[in-house]
Structure 1
Amino acid sequence: MGFMENLNVEELAQQLMTVLTTYGLDVVGAIIILIIGNIISKIIPNSLTKMLNKRGVDVTVVNFLGSLTKMTILIITLLLVLAQFGVQTASLIAVLGAAGLAIGLALQGTLSNVAGGVMLLFFRPIRVGDFVEVAGHAGTVKAVNLFTTEMATGDNIQIILPNATVWGSAIKNFSFHDTRRVDFLMGISYNDDINKAMEVLRRLVEADERSLKDPAPVVVVSELGDSSVNITVRVWCKSGDYWGVKFDLTKAFKEEFDKEKISIPYPHVQMVKD
């Protein structure tokens, strides 16, 4: 029994030596290729990103090209590892090409996301930092990657949309133009002086330094409502000042109307006793 055990151990050791002799260098070479490929997949995309940033290339383009470069290097590394073990990469590529149609049909969604990412990169309807509304979601664009677009809402909730959805939807980009128009609708009582109310509104708008002179602000009577005379105020400002102008002037209009004794009608609830 002991002799048989010694024989099995010797046979196992001999087989192990044969494997190491035959494939040892290939395994070591494959490991070295993987290590080098992994290092290169980090160095080259980072270097490319730094170079493009120095040249002022759009951040969206930089991130997309960085992701694409890293993926390409990893694929090349995998092919080199297979070649190290004697796999004919040319034949493998031919087989993959033949199977490409079936894979493409199975991964239609994924490939359409890549195509959507390419279209977003080429036409650039959105850029990193833009505030947009797309597919029913509104937020600031954080990144456009190979497969997805990442956004953050005003309260900093992450939204990740497939690129195909972004490209296939109507995109409302609030940051595309340098200026935006802020609209207000102020209602006054029929007993109040319309001209006085309009003068108060115009004075407050012109006093705000964020209000642009060209296009000029507009203050007009837009509607005779059921219980109020409605005055529309339109103010142009820089896109980044939109919400500040909106909030500050709304507060200023109410406070100044109170000082000038101009009433703002509002619904009254009347209690009826039996």
Structure 2
Amino acid sequence: MDSFNLSLLIDGIVGQSDNQILNIVLPIGLKVLGGLLLLLVGWVISIRLSAWANAFFETSDLIEETIEKVLVQLIRFGVLAVAVVLVLQLFGVQTATILALLSGVALAIGLAVQGTLSNVAAGVMLLVLRPIKIGEWVETAGEGGSVSRVGLFRTDIVTINNVLVSIPNTAVFQAPIHNYTRLGRRRMTAVVGVAYDSDVDQVCEILRKVLADNPAWDSDPAPYLYVSNLGDFSVDISVWAWADGSVYFDAQANFKLEAKKALDAAGIEIPFPHHVEIRRSV
């Protein structure tokens, strides 16, 4: 608009009577006030509904915790989206126009953030297929720990050193996932090396007793011990034993400690790498 048209517009408004100016400004002001009120109401309703949904999910076992957090977020943003659409309609924007505008914006955003949308798609697949759940101990994308959150964009894992690692969902979905909790029990494979002059049968009996003294190890299936290798300086005995995943780490650490004590008490040597030098006279 050039300066001439702008001056005509100003002169036209100034030249109107007070009632005519009021008739122009009042509808606009009411629409602005109504729009702000709608946004405020939508914001309050979104908070109340999301809080109610969160409280309901916490007391119900209908939906898993992994999906609960995503549903709460969707409820909140869904209510806010409805409020924004109502405000636009209040100002005379038609629904078809809104949908066309949203389609164009979605296309532009999609081209700009393809990687982010890939994470969203991967997040949806993780929520649908559920290879991991909150609280499970997993290894994926080079990280291992307890799953604390599965979101639409990233998956959070707390490592054994209490470090929070946030991994893009695409990396989690495309990488192999080792879930150590899902099946309940885990098998320990420990290797105990003893000297060549040791009585292997005695060693196996000692190790079986160490396992039997700890109730964390399952008796069915029974522990399995066998000579797995005749090494350069030791006879290696492999020990297979099953324990519940919740006590597996403690049971494994206890076995190694008690096995060392029991073998020492029996006078059985656990050798270390060494070389024997033989000198012959010419």
TM-score range, shorter chain: 0.7 to 0.9
Deviation at 1:30, TM superposition (A): 1.4
2:171 matched to 1:171? no
In structure 1, which of residues 89, 98, 103 is the aligned counterpart of residue 95 of structure 2? 89
Distance 1:16 1:168 in 2: 63
Question: Structure 1 pair 225/45, CA: closer, same or farther in 2 (3 Å)?
Answer: same
Distance 2:84 2:191 in 1: 63
Paired position in structure 2 for 1:32: 37
Matching residue of 2:213:
207
Residues 11-58 of structure 1: per-residue CA shift (max 9 Å, x gap): 9x9999677523211121111111111111112122223323333021
Task: Tell me the CA shift for residue 230 of structure 1.
Answer: 0.4
Aligned pairs (5 A) from 1:44-193: 44-56=49-61, 57-193=63-199
Q: Could you say which residue in structure 2 is the equivalent of 1:242?
A: 248
Per the normalisation by structure 1, the TM-score is 0.87
Q: Which residue of 1 aligns with 2:26?
A: 21
- Inter-partner Cα distance in structure 2 for 1:126 and 1:97: 33
Paired residues of 1:184 and 1:233 also in contact (CA < 8 A)? yes
Mean Cα deviation higher: 18-27 or 150-159 = 18-27
Q: Which runs of 5+ in 2 are unaligned?
A: 1-13, 277-282
2:247 is paired with a residue whose SS is helix
Q: For residues 103 and 205 of structure 1, do their structure 2 counterparts lie closer, same or farther at Cα, with a shift above 3 Å needed?
A: same
Question: What whole-Å deviation, never above 9, does each CA across 1:86-113 have from its counterpart, x for those lacking one?
Answer: 2223212123224543432222222222
What is the alpha-carbon distance in structure 1 between the residues aligned to residue 187 and residue 232 of structure 2?
A: 27
Aligned length: 261
Structure 1: give runs of 5+ residues left out of the alignment: 1-8
Shift of 1:268: 4.7
CA RMSD across the alignment = 2.5
Partner of 2:230: 224
Q: CA deviation at 1:269?
A: 8.8
State the alpha-carbon separation in 1 of the partners of residues 142 and 214 from structure 2: 33
Aligned-partner residue type, residue 116 of structure 2: T
Tell me if structure 2 keeps the 8 A contact 1:218–1:235. yes
Q: Identity rate of aligned residues, in percent?
A: 37
Greater CA deviation, 208-217 or 154-163?
154-163
For residue 42 of structure 1, what is the aligned residue in structure 2?
47
Partners in 1 of 2:19 and 2:269 — Cα distance? 101
Would you say the 8 A contact 2:233–2:274 is kept in 1? no
Deviation at 1:84, TM superposition (A): 2.4
Which deviations, in whole Å up to 9, do the C-alpha atoms of 1:168-215 show, x marking residues without a partner? 221111111110001111000001111111110011111110110111
1: distance between equivalents of 2:144 and 2:33?
51
Deviation at 1:133, TM superposition (A): 0.9
- Determine the C-alpha separation between the residues in 2 that align with 1:197 and 1:155: 35
| Conserved 8 A contact 1:179-1:237 | yes
Letter in 1 for 2:65: V
